[in-house]
């Protein structure tokens, strides 16, 4: 019993010590700042990650949630949902455009302006939110006016607390695709700080007042413990394949494997792998704003590549497939919501690799068609046999391991034991001539 009492006392002391040391683990004042990295296009993965981070920040009662943002843009609908959850957050949300060389373009501009406080690292940029059509060009004036008016209303509401200069710039970011460096954005009030790193940001945020809901909150971040919230394995995988280049590469490799199976049927493994990669690639494309004309051109390219194997056009369909693929890749990720330029080596290299494999398959198909048949009725024509029963002019011959009724082609008798060549087949009777 005495031992049990001592064990109980030790457990109590351990819990008391953990309680006393908890503020030290979270900084000298028991405060915590949660940090996440949101990089790449605005996708459902980014939306769910930010939403999960806000829930986690609220549960931990942190001082602030810092979103380190680097995005070329993305879906308007997804961006609006991110803005809504940021505005509705009970925890101050700080958007930090980072790292140096990063950007908050297009949809990223809206997300940055929606934050309770925002900052940029040196050598970063923000803006360029003009609407474009599916091919990346200017859209019809009437439609453009409608789209612009909606976006202008949204962005003016977000920039309202930042002053007239910020509102004017935000409007021009849509109407004139205007962009700003970190220094320019600070000067006109679009952002609150320029911070070289996270420590510099937290130092400048300390004592800064923000409006969270209807309440004014003074941030106390100088001595707060910094905690990084990482993406889950599934989120990392989904975020990787949602990269436009990776998505197109998966579709291309999957289609290549299926074309290879068509050219060399029998193994089925290449077809299985191809279908899996193709479906994963199409899922990834489905997470991004896609120009469907570009997607249709790429699918047309694969159809032309497959047709080349079975149609003797001697490269015409392959050339058309290469052209369709390149054009489709150029406009695939250029929409009114998102503008992403595929790397030129990928745009050119992938269709050329497809064309090379299709060309190899076409060459093999031609060789097979020209090859002399070795089985069946056609395989007998030209074969050499031996006369078993003298042909006068009818008899029998032994050819390819079988005995056949045969007739001398020219009507001349051929004695038993002579070698003959099969020249024709009439039903189940062969016509032969002496070798």
Catalytic residues: 106, 146
Pairing, β 225-228 against β 215-218: unpaired
Phi–psi pair at 227, nearest 5 degrees: -120, 130
- Rounded Cα gap, residues 332 and 291, in angstroms: 5
Burial class (CB in 10 A: 0-12, 13-18, 19+), 199: exposed
Mapping DSSP to helix (H, G, I), strand (E, B) and coil, where does residue 226 land?
strand
CB 65 within 8 A of CB 92: yes
Question: Considering Cα of 317, then 322, then 325, then 331, what sign does the dihedral take?
Answer: negative
The residue written with tokens 């320029």 in the block is 194
**Beta strands 117-120; 193-194: pairing state:** parallel
* Direct distance between the N- and C-terminal alpha carbons of the chain, in angstroms, rounded to an integer: 112
3-state secondary structure of 402: strand
Residue 92 CB neighbours (<10 A)? 25
Residue 161, both tokens: 């607390």
Q: What are phi and psi of 389, to 5 degrees?
A: -115, 125
**How would you classify the pairing of strands 117-120 and 179-181?**
unpaired
């Amino acid at each position: 019993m005495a031992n049990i009492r001592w064990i109980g006392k030790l457990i109590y002391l351990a819990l008391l010590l953990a309680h006393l040391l908890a503020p030290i683990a979270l900084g000298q004042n028991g405060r915590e700042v949660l940090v996440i990295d949101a990089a790449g296009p605005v996708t459902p993965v980014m939306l769910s990650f930010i939403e999960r981070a806000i829930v986690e920040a609220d549960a931990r009662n942190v001082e602030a949630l810092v979103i380190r943002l680097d995005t070329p843009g993305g879906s308007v609908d997804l961006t609006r949902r991110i803005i809504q959850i940021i505005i509705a957050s009970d925890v101050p949300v700080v958007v930090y455009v980072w790292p140096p060389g990063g950007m908050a373009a297009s949809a990223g501009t809206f997300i940055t302006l929606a934050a309770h406080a925002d900052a940029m690292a040196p050598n970063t940029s923000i803006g360029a939110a003009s609407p474009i059509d599916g091919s990346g060009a200017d859209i019809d004036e009437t439609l453009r006016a409608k789209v612009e008016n909606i976006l202008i209303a949204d962005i003016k509401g977000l920039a309202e607390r930042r002053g007239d200069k910020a509102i004017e710039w935000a409007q021009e970011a849509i109407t004139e695709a205007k962009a700003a460096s970190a220094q320019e954005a600070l000067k006109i009030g679009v952002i609150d700080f320029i911070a070289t790193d996270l420590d510099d940001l937290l130092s400048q945020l300390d004592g800064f007042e923000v409006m969270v809901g209807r309440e004014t909150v003074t941030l106390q971040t100088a001595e707060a413990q910094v905690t990084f919230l990482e993406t889950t394995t599934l989120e990392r995988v989904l975020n990787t394949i949602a990269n436009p280049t990776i998505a197109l590469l998966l579709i291309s490799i999957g289609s290549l494997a299926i074309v290879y199976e068509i050219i060399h049927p029998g193994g089925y493994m290449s077809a299985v792998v191809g279908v899996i990669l193709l479906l994963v690639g199409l899922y990834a494309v489905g997470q991004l704003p896609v120009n469907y004309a570009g997607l249709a051109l790429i699918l047309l390219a694969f159809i032309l590549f497959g047709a080349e194997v079975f149609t003797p056009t001697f490269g015409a369909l392959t050339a058309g497939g290469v052209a369709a693929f390149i054009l489709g890749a150029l406009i695939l990720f250029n929409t009114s919501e998102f503008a992403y330029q595929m790397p030129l080596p990928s745009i050119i290299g992938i269709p050329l690799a497809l064309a090379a494999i299709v060309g190899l398959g076409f060459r093999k198909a031609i060789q097979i068609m020209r090859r002399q048949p070795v089985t069946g009725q056609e395989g007998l024509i030209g074969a050499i046999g031996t006369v078993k029963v003298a042909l006068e002019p009818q008899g029998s011959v032994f050819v390819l391991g079988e005995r056949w009724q045969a007739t001398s082609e020219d009507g001349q008798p051929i004695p038993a034991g002579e070698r003959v060549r099969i020249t024709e087949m009439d039903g189940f009777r062969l016509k032969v001539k002496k070798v």
